[in-house]
Structure 1
Amino acid sequence: MLNRKARRATRAGLAVAALATTLIVTPMQAASAAPAQSSRPWMNTRLSADERAALVLARMTLDQKTNLLIQTGGPGVPELGIPAIRGRDASNGLTTAGVPTTALPDGMALASSFDDELARRYGAVAGAETRATGYNSAAAPTIDLARSPWNGRQWEGTGEDPLLSGRLGSAQVQGIQSQQVQAEVKHYTVYNQETRRGHVDSQVDERTLQEVYTRPWEKVVTESDPASVMCSFNKVETEHACGNATLLNDVLKGQLGFKGYVSSDFNAAHSFDDYAAGLDTSGEDLVFSGDNLERAVLAGRVSVQRVDESARRVLRAMFATGVIDNPPAGSLTTPQPASKPVPAAMLSQNDQVATTSGNEGIVLLKNDRAQLPLSTSSARSIAVIGSDADHYITGGGSAAVRDPARLTTILDGITARAGSGATVQYAPGTDPVSTADTLPGPAPVPSSVLSDVTAQYRLGAGNFSSPAFISRPEAQINLRTGLANDVINTSQVPGLGFPLVTSPMTGRWTATLTAPATGTYGLSVSHLGSAKLYLDDRLVVDDAGATYGTQTQDVTLTAGQEVQVRIDYSTDAPHQFDGSLNDQPGAMLRFGWTPPAGTLSPAIQQAVDLAKKSDVAVVVARDYTGEAADRGTLTLPQDQDALISAVAAANPRTVVVLATSGAVTMPWLNSVPAVVEAWYGGQQQGKTVASVLFGDVNPSGKLPVTFPADEQQPVAIGVRNTFSDVATVNPTTRYDDGIDVGYRGYAEKGLTPLFPFGHGLSYTTFGYDKLQTKQLNTRSAKDTAQVKFQLTNTGRRAGTEVVQVYVGTLPTAVDTPARALAGYARVTLEPGRKSMVSVDLDLRSLQYWDTTSHSWVTPTGRVPVYVGTSATSAQLSGTLTVR
């Protein structure tokens, strides 16, 4: 006799065979064919999504409903023509192993464009490729605010401002769902920390929750009707986000009127009680879904009404997005077939969106003496320097596109653009960057002075005697295991993989260090877990490593002197490997150095020598961050600061191209004439960077985050470096910055950042004039606040300006931000041309959340208005009357 699952699979297979000719059809075909299917009235496309969901729900058994409520990869209900939810991550392009897809520039690059229409096209790329590969749900977009500059996943999202994030998120959802694919917006909510992300408690007050963190979700829900919302790993006010009734039932489904379904992040559900709190689908493990959910219903743990409501929400979303009427090919089969390839024509078309997104997202931070754009007439020889200048630059984790369809590295792009007009030569300068470079502490000893490195890894803490599980040569002694390094790793440095990433381990490294110069060297071990450092068989560091820290031994060496190095390391710190991959710190070990002042590694010296004989030096500097890996420092890793300083001293025409996840400190800023922020620029980063450097594209990007002048400035506005939580099982993060997130906090505290939110230069100039404001009548629901002004291209080349409108302190006794983005627009003008620009202001920017009435309040009176090029630069100022 067939068991229950086998009977279900048999029924599904027969149903798929019977339905194959009627369900996999175009929307037009479905509209004409559906009314004839009297046995399935829910296939009548003339009915609303709600009506159709109610009809099919009435025919479903409990078994079928619980099958439907599997977060992704369940059997669905093919016997009724209802596919399973089948989703893939797609925040910055679809990511599916082994299938080439379009690697779009990251979310920070998209945010730098301030371009809503581009965001729709960006979302459509993710939606189209999700459908083409056989999936019907895209886990995208990411709209988590970039509250902390140390956050490991900020590159996926769209910056620190709620209005910008909400507008771009709404547009992406519209783009995704235009392709008849469900958008699963993430991560709801107050999710700004990767360290111990599964158990960190985000403590945030009601007003901050509403004005800052709920505001982008409100815009996404009301303007784009997303199919799904992904609840986050963390706790909010002591309750896990996926079981937080205040967040899910009261705010999202109640206050905001969300009509779709709430899906857990990867195994982020914690109890069957989460369903009562508002969770609708759970997975990917079936602990709280599928047959287990059915048993919980039969046992009275979960109500039938709650399951019905969840199933209705899923069905409504599938009907509303076209997933049922026109399912992706193969999505009604059980089990899920292998991912299909993306058609070549689609990849070609989507490559254009990747290029446009890169062009618009690059930010020109500095351009003294008109160093840029470059010209082959004055730059006959170009040195391209940087360990990842000839590598695919992106982050690690679920948002990383693993197999970019058409990759152009920065070295490729500059070489192609220079053509025969200039000679391009390359020097790495430093070692490649990996997840281990998120660790704070002295830079790792470079491979150009460290030779014959052999690493041996064994399973189990304190185990140095059994045969090695992995034995291999390595370039450096620099290790951080975890999701972004071993599961979804896009760096040049190979990870360890399973099971070393999920269980306690030991590591032993042996190597030879050759001093590049005579002097005193600080040789260090930065680590969590016990570590011993031997130099020429003499034990010089022995530390238990209960918390992360650095121990240093000063050693006097002579140029050319060799030192034998051995490090024994064990992941035996408390709670270092208990819990899931989401919560454990994993292995953390770095052999670092502080060389004598003025000492350069041989690799940096080679780069300097190349820069000296070149007309122009382009230094590509990057970081590498990812899921479950907050940065421990804003310092560029792998001694890239020293590299840039040395190159700039050798060549006054040094251009720095940053390819980073967010803000970094720049101690060399005054030594270089030009700096470009290119983010993680996707598969056409080489082409887009070259286009901006040579002036084929006039840069128009604006920073969507504030770049602090140092690591103390974020702390001063109430944001701490959460890397310190690696040794804390259940950390608490207080949102002490309150409503003054990002640039608002800098304005509140009177701090001058390195580069402000909204900053970005152009190769032309713009003039602002003739400000007009339209008063707002709060009694009219249709009235809008608006500003008008004249914009003139006062330069010699065509260009695009992102005009930004901020409001100041509102006319109320309640504290409100000194600056808040209220609207923006992109305006393209030819040289000498003028345009009257109108910008509608977002109503929420003129309101505050009242914690007594638990509602929005619009103060009346005169509101300061600032029009300009950043949060700190106002070309025009005036007032707006609210009555």
Structure 2
Amino acid sequence: MQQIKPMRNIKELLKQMTLEEKAGLCSGKDFWNTKEIERLGIPSVMMTDGPHGLRKQEGDTDHLGINKSLPSTCFPSAAGLACSWDKDLINRTGATIGREAQAEDVSIVLGPSVNIKRSPLCGRNFEYFSEDPYLSSSLAASYIKGVQSQGVGTSIKHFAVNNQEFKRMSVDAVVDERTLREIYLASFEQAVKDGQPWTVMAAYNKVNGSYCSENKKLLTEILKEEWGFEGLVMSDWGAVNELDDGIEAGLELEMPASGGMGEKKIIEAVQTGKLSLEKLDQSVERILKIVFQAVENKKQNAAYDKNEHHKIAREAARESMVLLKNEDRILPLRSVKSVAVIGAFAKKPRFQGGGSSHINPTKVDDIFEEMQKAALPTTVLDFAEGYSLDRDEADEQLISEAVELAKKTEIAVIFAGLPESYESEGFDRKYLSIPVSHRVLIEEVAKVQSNVIVVLSNGAPIEMPWLDQVKAVLEGYLGGQALGGAIADLIFGLANPSGKLAETFPKKLAHNPSYLHFPGDGETADYSEGIFVGYRHYDTRDVEPLFPFGYGLSYTSFEYSNIQVNRDEIQDTDSITVSIKVKNTGDMEGKEIIQLYVRDIESKISRPEKELKGFEKVHLYPSEEKIVTFKLEKRAFAYYNTKINDWHVETGSFDILIGSSSREILQRKTVYVHSTTVIPNILTRHSTFGDLMDNPVGAEIMKAMQSQANPSNNEGLGAGMQEMILGTTLHNACVMSNGAFTEDMMQGILQAANNSKIS
């Protein structure tokens, strides 16, 4: 095991550094490296793009993957990898990427990307895990731990509320505090706390009027002070507006180099007193800590086995693919004699997204060849191109050839989806449809062949108007360089599909909660849908999706039984243990993803129908059963209360729901949780009688007032009239009572209820 040397004495180094040297360290040396200071023995370290592989460029560098990179293993992008719901697998994937980073002398991998999938149209959704912050943060923590187990740092990104590509460098994301905390920051929070990434990357956009790289609330108050983040905050590439303001807000490192502009602003700000030297020293100290951490963890003569890493990529792809439909159990293909393999993707696969995460793979599976290897010797596979990769329009000749081939075979397997031109970093999609050439191909083949299987390659949800015309659909997402082998394994039953959707597939775009607001007018992006993102919207408003969150089929079947809780009544400072028995009732070994949701049965505030609070993936042989256990603590029952600026549990009953998707709940228990937080109910002249009823003293006063009133005046009051009275303010009652309810009486009630004089 490598001997770790003691950390350099950073405090002593700070004393020896000039102002110019300190300012210089806060900006990059070039596109991918930090600055060195040779006279003090401070080295430069390299960082490169991730997150689903290593993009270390040779020669000229750029941010969008235009120039060639050194070969590295391309794993499934996060949209697919998240569908594995497998924390151990994602940890091993991260560790594999970490080993490759060590071999290429890379100190920090820029990933994972954990922004929430607010809309299926976001062009970069393929790089993000989920629409659910609990799932996203849990998987991100596993990835971070995996990479960093190899002595290589990560940079969780893009902090925060970076959910569109349209005007991403300038748009102002306008989002209320509760939504910010429960959805968009929660996707980062547990990953930061549990994973302890070396760095956090500040996004391009503004949040509520302030650029992320200059947002003190995000970078200092929340990230560092509340969450205890001890690493450094760097900018997204070119995301710094004013570097001196960024340093003051909690940014440490501007990337890439800005030609001396950023450091000049820092020097001037310190010299004029705008920025304190103490604040600059704090930033430099964090930078030096990470630089030396990278140096101390560098492994000499690091190397890796490309073939072994390709096998891991194949496993990751196989575990991530989602079987969406399997009518008549057409899959897996076992004893068929002839198969038509149709679609250009079968020989030139779409296996990754476009932009800064674009990997130069060590090898890429030919799907058709891998299917030939996996099929029985008696099965004949023939290929038809079906569509052209460089045009969207249907090619009649290619479709005719595909149709003729499909007529002659038992089964047709069509490879379709989204070309790279449809989704990439830098622009958003306009609609959910696949190219016309792909759609027409599926429809025409289905007219002559009743046994059609569609295998999809896409980074985000699509519409499927042809769904009823085909027997099976396998969602492959962007499966990385080994997707061909993974698809062949699943199609021919060498492995059992076990992925489940980490996002909702809507029937049509208009059903998405952000439909009326995405992507905004270019100046602002209004997050008016609030906390109702993804399944929180579809389930609460009973909008039927095409495929729900957490959905995925298997070649076997599972039975859930005997849900148990160790306590059915707790305080919110306690925890609950929940267990469920799961059995494989089919004839093939497989893996099931058990999902636990929590529902607040009756709440005074608006809450989703249910929220994911636990999940586990288990392997089961036929007839095998296992007991899966979950531990639920306060956050599983809490919402973010903006009155107290903290997480709060309302006293009451909660349903513990366990199932195979957000729409397939199979077992449930109810528990009662007592809140230990007393929320101050300070009454004013503008409080309502309803507010007065919520105050213990106020409630007694109301009872006394009601007993003194003429009972006949209350006869026949309906619920609507009672609601109107409870909604009346004390001040308005004073004005409208014609002297019966005086100002002095109101002040007396307020003083008694608040135990203090209210002016």
TM-score range, shorter chain: 0.7 to 0.9
Partner of 1:616: 411
The Cα offsets for residues 826-875 of structure 1, whole Å up to 9 and x where unpaired, read as 11111111112112236423101111111110223320121111001111
Tell me which residue corresponds to 1:84.
44
After TM superposition, give the deviation of residue 419 of structure 1 in Å. Answer: 5.9
- Once residues 776 and 213 of structure 1 are traced to their aligned partners in structure 2, the CA distance between those partners, rounded to angstroms, is 31
Of residues 753, 760, 772 in structure 1, which corresponds to 2:564? 772
Candidates 146, 155, 159, aligned match of 1:175: 146
SS, match of residue 375 in structure 2? helix
The residue number in structure 1 matching 2:468 is: 670
1:301/1:660 CA distance change after superposition, 3 Å? same
Alignment counterpart, residue 219 of structure 2, candidates 245, 248, 253: 248
Paired with 1:777 and 1:134, the residues of 2 have a C-alpha distance of 54
Amino acid at match of 2:538: Y
Deviation at 1:811, TM superposition (A): 4.5
1:306 correspondence with 2:279: yes
Q: What letter matches 2:658 in structure 1?
A: V
Instruction: For structure 2, list consecutive stretches of 5 or more residues without a partner in the other structure.
Output: 57-67, 675-759
Q: Give the letter for the 1:794 counterpart.
A: T
Contact 2:55 2:69 survives alignment (8 Å): no
State how far apart, in whole Å, the 2-side matches of 1:404 and 1:412 are. 18
Counterpart selection for 1:358 from 299, 314, 317: 317
Secondary structure at the residue paired with 2:305?
helix
Structure 1 residues 799, 842: closer, same or farther in 2, change over 3 A?
farther
Indicate the residue corresponding to 2:27 in structure 1: 70
Residue 171 (structure 2) aligns with: 200
1:412 and 2:369 matched: yes
1:538-596 Cα shifts (integer Å, max 9, x gaps): xxxxxxxxxxxxxxxxxxxxxxxxxxxxxxxxxxxxxxxxxxxxxxxxxxxxxxxxxxx
**Cα deviations across residues 212-238 of structure 1 (Å, max 9, x unaligned)?**
111122101211111111111111112
In structure 2, relative to structure 1, the CA distance for the partners of 1:55 and 1:164 (3 Å cut) is farther
Q: Describe the superposition over 1:581-635 as per-residue Cα deviations: whole angstroms up to 9, x where unpaired.
A: xxxxxxxxxxxxxxxxxxxx22212111111112211111121311012111100
Distance, in Å, in 2 between the alignment partners of 1:811 and 1:192 is: 31
**Structure with higher strand content:** 1
Structure 1 residues 63 and 115: alpha-carbon distance in aligned structure 2, compared to 1, 3 A threshold: same
Kindly report the root-mean-square deviation, in angstroms, between the aligned alpha carbons of the 2 structures.
2.1
Q: For residue 539 of structure 2, what is the amino acid of its counterpart?
A: A
Instruction: In structure 1, give the amino acid aligned to 2:541.
Output: K
Match of 2:401 in 1: 606
Report the Cα distance in structure 1 between the residues aligned to 2:309 and 2:15, rounded to whole angstroms.
41
Paired with 1:721 and 1:94, the residues of 2 have a C-alpha distance of 35
Alpha-carbon separation, structure 2, partners of 1:433 and 1:192: 29
Q: Describe the superposition over 1:664-692 as per-residue Cα deviations: whole angstroms up to 9, x where unpaired.
A: 00001011110000100001000001101
User: Per the alignment, do residues 719 and 260 of structure 1 end up closer, same or farther by CA in structure 2, a change over 3 Å counting?
Assistant: farther
Unpaired runs of 5+ residues, structure 1, are 1-25, 35-41, 44-51, 330-339, 435-443, 449-600
Distance across 1 between alignment mates of 2:324 and 2:475: 7
Q: How much does 1:100 deviate? A: 0.9
User: 1:684: which partner in 2?
Assistant: 482
Q: Which residue of the other structure, out of 532, 550, 554, is the alignment partner of 1:762?
A: 554
| Deviation of the 1:290 alpha carbon | 4.3
Matched residue type, 2:84: S
Correspondence for 1:629? 427
1:281 aligns with 253
Q: Any idea what the Cα deviations from partners look like across 1:182-215, whole Å, max 9, x if unmatched? A: 1111000111100111111111100000011111
Q: Higher helix fraction: Structure 1 or Structure 2?
A: 2
Alpha-carbon distance change, 433 to 353 in structure 1, aligned in 2, over 3 angstroms: farther
- TM-score, with structure 1 as normaliser: 0.71
Residue 846 in structure 1 maps to residue 641 in structure 2: no
2:666 alignment partner in structure 1: 875
Q: 1:719 is matched with which residue: 515, 518, 524? A: 515
CA contact (8 A) 1:67 1:76 kept: no
Aligned to 1:644: 442
Against the structure 1 CA distance between its residues 305 and 421, is the aligned structure 2 distance closer, same or farther, given a 3 Å change threshold?
Answer: farther
1:122 partner SS: helix
3-state DSSP class of the match of 1:421? coil
SS of 2:224's partner is helix
Q: Report if the CA contact (8 A) 1:618-1:654 is conserved.
A: yes
C-alpha deviation, 1:352, in angstroms: 2.6
Q: Could you tell me which amino acid in structure 1 is paired with residue 575 of structure 2?
A: T
Aligned to 2:158: 187
Q: 1:841 to 1:355 in 2, by over 3 A?
A: farther
1:296 Cα deviation after fit: 4.6
Q: Which residue of 2 aligns with 1:427?
A: 384
Return closer, same or farther for 1:842/1:622 CA change in 2, 3 Å cut-off: farther
Q: Is the 8 A contact 2:44 2:291 kept in 1?
A: no
Offset, 1:122: 1.4
2:16 paired residue number: 59
Deviation at 1:638, TM superposition (A): 4.0
Shift of the 53–163 alpha-carbon distance from structure 1 to 2, 3 Å rule, reads farther
Tell which structure's C-alpha radius of gyration is larger: 2
Q: Does 1:100 align with 2:71?
A: yes
Contact 1:366 1:675 in 2 (8 A): yes
Which of residues 380, 384, 395 in structure 1 aligns to 2:341? 384
8 A Cα contact 1:822 1:842, kept in partner:
no
Identity of aligned residues (%): 33
Pairing partner for 1:734 from 491, 507, 526: 526
Number of paired residues?
654
CA drift at 1:317: 3.1
| Structure-2 residue corresponding to 1:574 | none
Matched, 1:144 2:90: no
Offset of residue 297 of structure 1: 3.5
